[in-house]
Structure 1
Amino acid sequence: MASELCKAISVARLERHKNLFLNYRNLEQFPRELLRGEGLQHLQRLYMKRNSLTTLPENLAQKLPNLVELYLHSNNIVVIPEAIGSLVKLQCLDLSDNALEIVCPEIGHLRALRHLRLANNQLRFLPPEVGELKELQTLDLSANRLLALPERLHLCLSLQCLTADRNRLRCVPRRLCQLPSLSELSMAGNRLAFLPLDLGRSRELQYVFVDNNAHLQGLPSYLYNKVVGCSGCGAPFQVSEAKLLAFSSGPLTVFLPAEVKAVGTEQDTVLPLQELVMRTLHRACSRAPKDLDGLSPVSLPRSLLELLRCPLGHCHRCGEPMFTIVYPKLFPLRETPMAGLHQGRTAVSFVACCCSAGCLQTFDLLS
């Protein structure tokens, strides 16, 4: 393996390759051959995914000065070193699925960076210097331990897609509403209790995913003509008129047929027994989370156990979790504040989820 590695690097040096693939090599440290002499001056893209790297060399920028893309997905890197800030031409940095606990302030020196992926790490905070990344278009912070997002993130004027699912966030910084290019915001599976009232005011913002925030009781009126809350895990999916009524929980996706519009009539006032049991069990486990961890497929079918851990959705009015049935409230575009911008359109523009027929009847557009 070592000889094959040296040979691959030597060939890349002699032939002045721009791309070098060192994935799945069981590397525990950066190859010395890669940093020997002047390094690889012509290299632009380095792929080192699925190795066992724990750190990056301090002279990385000196030896690989023309790197444009660096892929370090699925290693064991704990800290992004200060030296990363010297890779001034870097446009894409992928450090997903590592053991990152700290992102150094020097990350703000990467003024050409367009895509930064830090999902599935151990981050508790981001340095405010992230706001210096004026060219940043994509930022993925999913599955970390973030308690808050840096206020200066609103300075990333090119940011188009911000994903921060499955963290511990309690609020959305209001200044994020000022981002002129933001088209997709995904903060599913956090601890959000409210959203800024002007979130969605921008025409650019079209997709807002905030499902699985149990304490979130209402949505700003500007979101009523957007695609809202259909993603329970932040996974990408194709949106269409036919599939707008869709709810996801991990690998489980439920597409509701057109007949679901009839659910919640005056005659349909009793929830299914299975739904009542799931909600009761969920409330009990919420008071004692260790009880949920103790459940096994012996006590519940595997499909129901997975659903219990991550409900299909939550009521937009009271935050009640829903497992097997939802009561959709459909708002035609003409009823929304942005109706004047869409002349002649009267199609359904927003679907609010109610937890019962009674909730459906009392749901207020302005709540």
Structure 2
Amino acid sequence: MENLKELRELYLSDNQLTTLPNEIGNLQKLQALYLKNNKLTTLPNEIGKLQKLQHLELDHNQLKTLPNEIEKLEKLEKLDLRNNQLTILPKEIGKLQELEWLSLDYNQLKTIPKEIGKLQKLPHLYLHHNQLKTLPKEIGYLKDLESLNLDHNQLKTIPKEIGYLKGLEELDLRNNQLTILPKEIGYLKKLKVLDLSDNQLKTLPKEIGNLKKLQELYLSDNKLTTLPKEIGYLKKLWLLDLSRNQLTALPKEIGYLKDLELLDLSSNKLKTLSKEIGKLQKLHTLNLDDIPALKSQEKKIQKLIPKASIDFIDIKR
């Protein structure tokens, strides 16, 4: 590599590399290094000499750890580490303060260092499909975060500091073990998509009604028995998925959701639908599958919302 000192980009993806030579550190003008789809298990400490590096793609390898020297890559903007075998992140990750993209999904991470909170320019953070049980409160310092993906982990709670993420537009928490949401969720005033499906939620905080820009709300496969009346404040909502819960009734305020187009109520314990459902003039799809008590009310419901396509289960099948 002695003759490559002027190299700006190096593409080594889709090979069978198991190691990188220490001499990689000689490429000190390198700005982009592509190493995805190899068989790397470690990185040499000399990677830290690539101080002009802006893009580092290491996804789909077999990395178990990262060298502490990664902290020296202070100009790094994109770091892709998805689909590796990482069990821990070095605290030095917090030195990469120019990061705009960090993908850590499909690893084996159990914790995230508190230093993650120093990445204050980061708009996108992908942590889904790990083994996270908790999040550090410092995650609330990521003031520029727009999307946070945490699905398929083992989270039982999320810190109240989540409410500091004022710019967050998408929050994915599906397939965790959440039993409660902090009321601070209501501070996420720019949130457009919230996915809480496949958890163990029994109630929602009334503050959920503060999410005035919310367009999509996914709550399927929880243990909800009631909804707060404040759900009616979500005037921009066009999709509401409440399937596979334990709801016996809907609040009359559901009728305030004038932009709602798709409502999934399948596999609940509803005995009847209130007439307020008829106020949903934009509703075009209503799923009532697996609610036998409503099958006999099909004509009445169809009359309330004549423009909507209503799906029922045929209990004789």
TM-score by length of 1: 0.63
Give 3-state SS (helix, strand or coil) of 2:186's partner. helix
8 Å contact 1:61–1:84 — kept in the other structure?
yes
8 Å contact 1:47–1:72 — kept in the other structure?
yes
Q: Which moved more, 1:137-146 or 1:205-214?
A: 205-214
Q: 1:22 aligns with which of 35, 51, 58?
A: 35
Give 3-state SS (helix, strand or coil) of 1:59's partner. helix
**Structure 2 counterpart of 1:347, one-letter code:** K
**Structure 2 counterpart of 1:27, one-letter code:** L
Deviation at 1:50, TM superposition (A): 1.0
Counterpart in 2 of 1:88? Answer: 97
1:87-128 per-residue CA deviation (whole Å, 9 max, x = no partner) reads 111111111011101111111111111111111111110010
1:137-172 per-residue CA deviation (whole Å, 9 max, x = no partner) reads 111110011000110110011111000100000122
| Cα pair distance change 1:116/1:216, threshold 3 Å | farther
Whether 2:295 is the aligned partner of 1:356: answer no
8 Å contact 1:44–1:67 — kept in the other structure?
yes
**Structure 2 counterpart of 1:107, one-letter code:** I
| Cα pair distance change 1:360/1:97, threshold 3 Å | farther
Counterpart in 2 of 1:342? Answer: none
Whether 2:165 is the aligned partner of 1:129: answer no
Counterpart in 2 of 1:60? Answer: 70
Which segments of structure 1 move beyond 6 Å, counting only runs of 4 or more?
327-330
**Structure 1 counterpart of 2:87, one-letter code:** V
Give 3-state SS (helix, strand or coil) of 2:157's partner. coil
Deviation at 1:197, TM superposition (A): 2.3
**Structure 2 counterpart of 1:112, one-letter code:** K
**Structure 2 counterpart of 1:178, one-letter code:** Y
Counterparts of 2:152 and 2:222 in 1: how far apart (Å)? 14
| Cα pair distance change 1:351/1:176, threshold 3 Å | farther
Counterparts of 1:56 and 1:23 in 2: how far apart (Å)? 15
Equivalence map 1:9-158=2 (5 Å): 9=24, 13=27, 16-35=29-48, 39-62=49-72, 64-158=73-167
Q: Which has the higher contact order (CA 8 A, sep 6+)?
A: 1
Q: 1:229 aligns with which of 206, 219, 241?
A: 241
Give 3-state SS (helix, strand or coil) of 2:206's partner. coil
Counterparts of 1:88 and 1:189 in 2: how far apart (Å)? 34
**Structure 2 counterpart of 1:222, one-letter code:** Y
Whether 2:249 is the aligned partner of 1:314: answer no
| Cα pair distance change 1:65/1:231, threshold 3 Å | farther
1:57-100 per-residue CA deviation (whole Å, 9 max, x = no partner) reads 112121x1100111000111111221111111111111101110
**Structure 1 counterpart of 2:43, one-letter code:** F
| Cα pair distance change 1:170/1:224, threshold 3 Å | farther
| Cα pair distance change 1:328/1:26, threshold 3 Å | farther
| Cα pair distance change 1:216/1:8, threshold 3 Å | farther
Instruction: Give the unaligned 5+ runs of structure 2.
Output: 1-15, 245-258, 302-317
| Cα pair distance change 1:334/1:117, threshold 3 Å | same
- Number of aligned residue pairs: give it: 266
Q: 1:185 aligns with which of 190, 194, 208?
A: 194
Counterparts of 1:214 and 1:153 in 2: how far apart (Å)? 23
Deviation at 1:133, TM superposition (A): 0.7
| Cα pair distance change 1:333/1:116, threshold 3 Å | farther
8 Å contact 1:218–1:317 — kept in the other structure?
no
Deviation at 1:4, TM superposition (A): 9.2
TM-score by length of 2: 0.72
| Cα pair distance change 1:193/1:317, threshold 3 Å | farther
Deviation at 1:190, TM superposition (A): 0.3
Counterparts of 1:145 and 1:198 in 2: how far apart (Å)? 24
Whether 2:174 is the aligned partner of 1:165: answer yes
Q: 1:347 aligns with which of 268, 278, 282?
A: 282
Counterpart in 2 of 1:244? Answer: 262
Give 3-state SS (helix, strand or coil) of 1:348's partner. coil
